[in-house]
Structure 1
Amino acid sequence: MKEQQDIRPYAFQTPFGKVVAFAENGVIRAKSIRYARSERYKMPIPLDKAEEDTILNKTPVCPQNISPLLERLIEKTNQENFEIEESTQYLTITRPENTSENDRLPVVVWIHGGSYEVGCGDLPTSDPSVWVKEQNIIVISVSYRLGLFGFLGGDEERPANLGLFDIIEALKWIKNNIQSFGGNPENVTLLGQSSGGDAVTHLMISEGVENLFSRVIVHSAPLGFRHNRKKMSSELFRKTEYLKNETDVLKMTEDYTKLLPSVMKYGLKASMPFCLQYDYPPLCREEESLEKWKKNAKKFDVLIGLNNDETAFYIKTAQEGLYTYLSETILNTIVRTTTNFIYEKPANIFAKNYADGGGNIYFFKIHSKVSKNSIGAAHCIDLPLIFSNESAWKSSELLKDISWDYVYENGKKIRSLWAEFARTGKVSDDSERPEILELRKI
């Protein structure tokens, strides 16, 4: 029988008030701290003080549809563990248990992916405990509004980019309070994957983020989807107008999916119907974005990259439709072409533009070296490498035919490199690289 972990209560005294936490298995976790509140389609209002001794038994999540693909490839959703809530402004802090009183640890802020539509910051598959203990860092996971509630707007009644404003409020909270947890407010690195990576790159050119972070690590950002979205977003915005006052949030998330076929005419980017919207605060116009990244290049250290076979996650794992009838050679060609269009080419353009602006930027690519793994280095394969929670990933089809020891050993080297970057903004040429990682300074 597995031994029960020794869980001990803990408390932090902060400018925000007393924050309740628990020590377990070498880390201290302050879970589901509310950093702001919001009404539907309203700006987040930061909280002045902690909600007294509030301990949530379930993880709050923004209303969303469960993705069968994510459930099959990553983790089955146990709905009993989650509480649906529109105002999903929460963060969870994980830090090492054994620290000295004067420690000022580097802080990594995790911005989760999920196409701006699904997920939350606090999932077992992104439990940072192993990384925190190995590298003596603090990791903060942020939840924010998604989908109709956070990333589709167009007028004063339904503003755009509310989810991005949520993240900015979380960063302000971290700036004001993280020192009480042993963190260094002057050494904050944002880590985003997929749409979270897209959000992180756009936070670099957002209004109101001055001095909130100094570094970014961007995994698999679909920057190829950021262009020319205005017509598609406007059409989806108009068609969902009838849902704006719906009291049943699950009906809202169910009904908008019926409208998605009508926007497929906008091409591949329609597969991600929600996104950040240019021309609305806190962002600039789309045509100004590259120049603004270039202008801000000396403000932030950047580590950006992708997995070599990103779109195999969707294409090679399809259980129905056209892809199931195509040969391996044709599938590989489609994967390479779409990965280049959505992820690699735009990331390279971003990196070159940033370097031309005098920025400190590194580019990485994760490869598959396991011959039996036909999917390759697909989208999300980086997550178990960074968040080494074996129990959460053991049933994942994404890791089928890959031993956990292989994942762990390669991941340990990546975790060390990423922590080095978070501490210093650099990756030494002498630091050990795993065989699956290609990494270079631009």
Structure 2
Amino acid sequence: MKPQNKETHVFNTRFGIITGLKEEGIIRAKSIRYARSERFQKPVPVEHFIYDSRLEDKTPVCPQKLSPLVEKMIGATPVEEFEPEESTQYLSIARPKNFFENEKLPIVVWIHGGSHEIGCGDLPTADPAEWVKEQNIIVVTVSYRLGLFGFLGGDEKRPPNLGLLDIIEALKWIKTYIVDFGGDPENITLLGQSSGGDAIAHLMISEGVDDLFHRVIIQSAPLGLRHKRQKMSAEFLKKTEEVKDEVDVYKMMEEYGKFVPSVIKYGLKAAMPFGIQYGFSPLCKEEESVEKWRKNAAKYDVLIGLNNDETAFYLKTSEALNKYFGKGFGLKLMDKTVEKTTDIIYGAPARQFADNYAKGGGNVYLFRIHSKLKDNHIGAPHCIDLPLIFGNESAWKSSEMLKDIPWERIHENGKKLRTLWAEFARTGKISDQSERPEILTMGKIKS
């Protein structure tokens, strides 16, 4: 069944006949189910495409609670366009409208962030259309299980890392079928921001991923929160036993919040209570992880980095904190706190990751995004990289984060950044002669 009054393109694939919509220079095939799952069960790959009329005008999302901070800083979540579903194994494909038969374009696979708790692959603020048109690439966006459904667990009844296993199934699907959409299965780059970057870093040391991807771009991964999470996860798992069988997912989402581990007890890592868990499939033990990244250094090209003022997203936007630390000595203390926490959670772990990878002989670049605007109170916070990479001005018009930044500046720097990231996706390298945006510092790390 074809949507009415819209220009379409039919992909005759080995997975089935899939209809894409032609939209302003791209073709988009949305909400292709790559796997299925029962609650707290491993994903099972889907063998062929099945049309789902519910998703003609809706986007499938894992059940989740809205984040007031995200609503304020990034923009309102279009909940009326969402179709909540526990088995959230879907992907969407965006490719240039004009292409040649038998053409093989480089693939970028977008793994969204959201603290392993919120978000989905298809949000307007991460629409890859501009990037696809500019750089003649294919972008695949992946949705996977989150929160209680995908990133808690810890026993046989509730296995951990289910969201990570979902992503692996998506990568297997892409490896097998993307050639039918004009993509090159031998040139696949994973791109992830925040918890999406954390997931990608751990996919690099996961079982069952051989030859599924070739490069990674890791943006603002909170790798400083990955250590010694076992006690916190076990407590969270035990306390949520009483909601695990709840049929009403909305009630489930309302109730689990009261069991979230205390930041006072567990420190900064409790700010991201859901996450990957070492020692369970498909991951090694935590103490083996650094050596495993080093041993795998020959397998993947790596571009890793962060924004200069990551935690300003959380600290400088707090009305309570601004009341006491918004000016004078308080502001200086706030700036120092942002600098320190950014380094603990993002900066130092990224440097350590890059140095370790280079020592293993890996090809790795380290970058940092700055504001460079004197009157920009918040600087370059968490998520500022999203409008730079994806553009889409209309989706960001209500963003509090961008209120003091002219869109022309975002677009100018973003286009240059998209060009560099696409160069890396094509070749695994970034030439010294390639133009850099003024907001970017970057270098290749040597062993």
- Is TM more than 0.5 here? yes
Q: Is contact 1:19–1:53 with CA below 8 Å preserved after alignment?
A: no
1:38 corresponding residue in structure 2: 37
* Equivalent in 372, 377, 385 of residue 375 of structure 2: 372
TM-score, with length taken from structure 1: 0.97
CA distance in 1, matches of 2:423, 2:120: 26
Asked if 1:427 corresponds to 2:430, the answer is yes
How does 1:10-409 map onto structure 2 within 5 Å?
10-52=9-51, 54=53, 55-260=55-260, 262=262, 264-320=264-320, 322-326=321-325, 327-409=330-412
Q: Residue 15 of structure 1 contacts residue 176 of structure 1 at CA under 8 Å; is this kept in 2?
A: no
- State the distance in 1 between where 2:413 and 2:51 align: 42
Q: Name the amino acid aligned to 1:223.
A: L
Unaligned runs of 5+ in 1: 1-5
Q: Which runs of 4+ in 1 moved over 6 A?
A: none
| Preserved CA contact (<8 Å) 2:235 2:261 | no
Determine the structure 2 residue equivalent to 1:438: 441
Aligned residues: 437
Amino acid at match of 1:109: V
Structure 1: distance between partners of 2:261 and 2:168: 32
CA-CA distance at 1:323 after TM superposition:
4.9
- AA partner of residue 11 (structure 1): V
SS in 1 for 2:56: coil
TM-score by length of 2: 0.96
Where 1:115 maps in the other structure, the secondary structure is coil
Q: Aligned with 2:319: secondary structure?
A: coil
CA distance in 1, matches of 2:254, 2:290: 36
Task: Return closer, same or farther for 1:153/1:261 CA change in 2, 3 Å cut-off.
Answer: closer
Flag structure 2 segments of 5+ consecutive residues without an equivalent.
none
Give the Å deviation of 1:17. 0.7
Query: Distance between the aligned counterparts of 2:120 and 2:51, measured in 1?
Result: 23
Contact between 1:18 and 1:52, CA under 8 Å: does it hold in 2? no
**What is the CA deviation profile of residues 148-170 of structure 1, one whole-angstrom value per residue up to 9, with x for unaligned ones?**
00000111110000000000000
- Say what the alpha-carbon RMSD is for the aligned residues: 1.2
Distance in 2 (CA, whole Å) between partners of 1:340 and 1:254 is: 33
Taking only the aligned residue pairs, the percentage that are identical comes to 66
Corresponding letter in the other structure for 1:438:
T
Q: Does the residue aligned with 2:41 lie in a helix, a strand or coil?
A: coil
Deviations 1:182-233 (A, max 9, x none): 0000000000000000000000000000010000000000000000000000
User: What do residues 244-302 of structure 1 show as CA deviations (whole Å, max 9, x unaligned)?
Assistant: 11101111121111112546400111010000000100000000000000000000000
In 2, Cα distance between equivalents of 1:409 and 1:81: 30
Do the aligned partners of residues 96 and 334 (structure 1) sit closer, same or farther apart at CA in structure 2, a change above 3 Å counting? same
State the distance in 2 between where 1:297 and 1:223 align. Answer: 18
| Cα offsets for 1:86-139 (capped at 9, x unmatched) | 000000100000111121100000000000000001000000000000000000
In 1, the alpha carbon distance for the partners of 2:137 and 2:80 equals 31
Distance 1:38 1:26, change over 3 A: same
- Separation (CA, whole Å) in 1 of partners of 2:28 and 2:302: 28
- State the AA in 2 paired with 1:403: P
Deviations 1:407-434 (A, max 9, x none): 0000000000000000000000000001
